[in-house]
Every structure is written in C-alpha cells, then in structure tokens.
Amino acid sequence: MTIAVTADIIGSRQLADRNAAQRAFDETIAAVERDFPVATHGLRPTVGDEQQAVYPTLEAALSAILLLRLALPDGVEFRYGVGIGDIGRVRSTTSTQGISDGPGWWAARSAVEHVETLQRRAAPQARSWIIAHESVAAEHAQTVNWANAHLLTRDEIVGAMSERVRRLTYGRCLSRTQRELAATEGITQSAVSQSLSTSGAAAIVEGFRLLDPS
C-alpha cells in the first residue's frame, strides 16, 4: 500500500513574510525527518503553497504528520491530505525521472479539499484527512473510517495546545524524559508534568505509540 501526502499551507496568501514562513517549514520538516526517518520520499515543496511526501504505510504517514504538527511554531501550519492508492511515473522529455502521478495523489488532493470543508463547518480544528482512491476504497474502507475518527479527535486536542505544550508532547512521543524536557525548556519537571496532564498530551502520546510504524 502506497501512502501519498499532500500538505497545503494554511493562509499562505495572508502570511506577512512568506520567505520566513518557508524557512520555518523547511527547518521543521528537516528536524522531524532527522528525528523520525520513516518517509519513502520526504515532504518537499512542489509548487505554490503545496508540498508532497510518500510513506510506506498509513501508520508511518499519520505518525509523521502528528510530529510535524507538534513541531511547527505558531503562525505556520499545514492541512494534510492523505491518499491511499497507486503512484506511478509519467514519462517526460524534460525530466529524467518522469512526473509522479496516479490515484494516490488524486486521493490526497481530494482529502485536502475535504479538510478545508471541515474547517469551515463542523470541525474548525481539523487539519488532516484520509481518502482511499475508488480503486482500493472497498479494501480499506474500515481502516480509513477508524483512522479519520482518530484524526478528528487528535486534531481537536492538538489544536488547543500552546506552542510549548506541543514541543513537550513532541518530546514525549520520542521518549524524551520529563527531566530532559524541563532542562530544554528552562522550567521545572513539575511544570512539565502539569502541562502534559492538563492538555490531553498523554492521550496523544499513547496514540502515537499505538501507531508504531516500525
């Protein structure tokens, strides 16, 4: 199963400094991919405000998306479309590697559009959604439904977190101790513990560990 991810910058036209925002995206993506190297092809810009990545499994894709959401600073954010479907190469005389195309990317784009709809209506904090292309939809229907239910809840919890709490949650997902996190943040261990316990972070961390893309 191939997993295509399209990440669309939220409010790209309203960003005060698009270049600075792109640096923040690039640096954060690089850090996450160093800490959690699971992508088949890492998240990279394509055109305009869109970036794309490929993952070997749905678990790997959802784990990487979570870490990126947690790691990004306030003010720069993606919405994520996750597509399940084949990905191939279209031959091109201007590209030796050809052009990546196929049902996986079409499904990922549809998923991004669905997230936009959710944000305007039922779930303003929604940031991610999964769609399986019709060619494989029946095979993955139950998995997709359960995963999307998980994503709606996960996005709601993460969306309510402060930037610091997101950093702490990121660290716990990667098994960093509360003592280590306290030293990094310049706060007490009890402050770390309180922040994690009152924000829903424990549920996010446990969900991350249950995905276990390894």
Rounded to whole angstroms, how far apart are CA atoms 192 and 164? 10
Q: What type of residue is 55? A: Y
Q: What letter would DSSP give residue 13?
A: G
pTM for the model: 0.92
Question: Could you report the per-residue pLDDT of 90-127, keeping only the tens digit for each?
Answer: 555 555 565 666 899 999 999 999 999 999 988 999 99
Rounded to whole angstroms, how far apart are CA atoms 172 and 52? 26
CATH classification number, 3-160, choose in 3.30.930.10, 3.30.70.270, 3.30.700.30, 3.90.1150.10: 3.30.70.270
Q: Is the pLDDT of residue 56 over 60?
A: yes
Mean pLDDT of the chain: 92
Spatial neighbors of 107 by CB under 8 A, at least 6 apart, are 4, 81, 83, 84, 85, 131, 132, 133
Taking alpha carbons only, the member of 105, 152, 172 closest to residue 133 is 105
Q: Is the pLDDT of residue 172 over 90?
A: yes
Rounded to whole angstroms, how far apart are CA atoms 202 and 172? 9
Per-residue pLDDT, 16: 85
Give residue 46's pLDDT band: very low, low, confident or very high (50, 70, 90). confident
| Angle 109-60-126 from CA coordinates, rounded to 5° | 50
Tell me the helix, strand and coil percentages in the chain, rounded to 5. Answer: 55, 20, 25
Question: Could you report the per-residue pLDDT of 134-156, keeping only the tens digit for each?
Answer: 989 999 999 999 999 999 999 99
Per-residue pLDDT, 14: 83
- Radius of gyration of the CA atoms of the chain, in A: 17
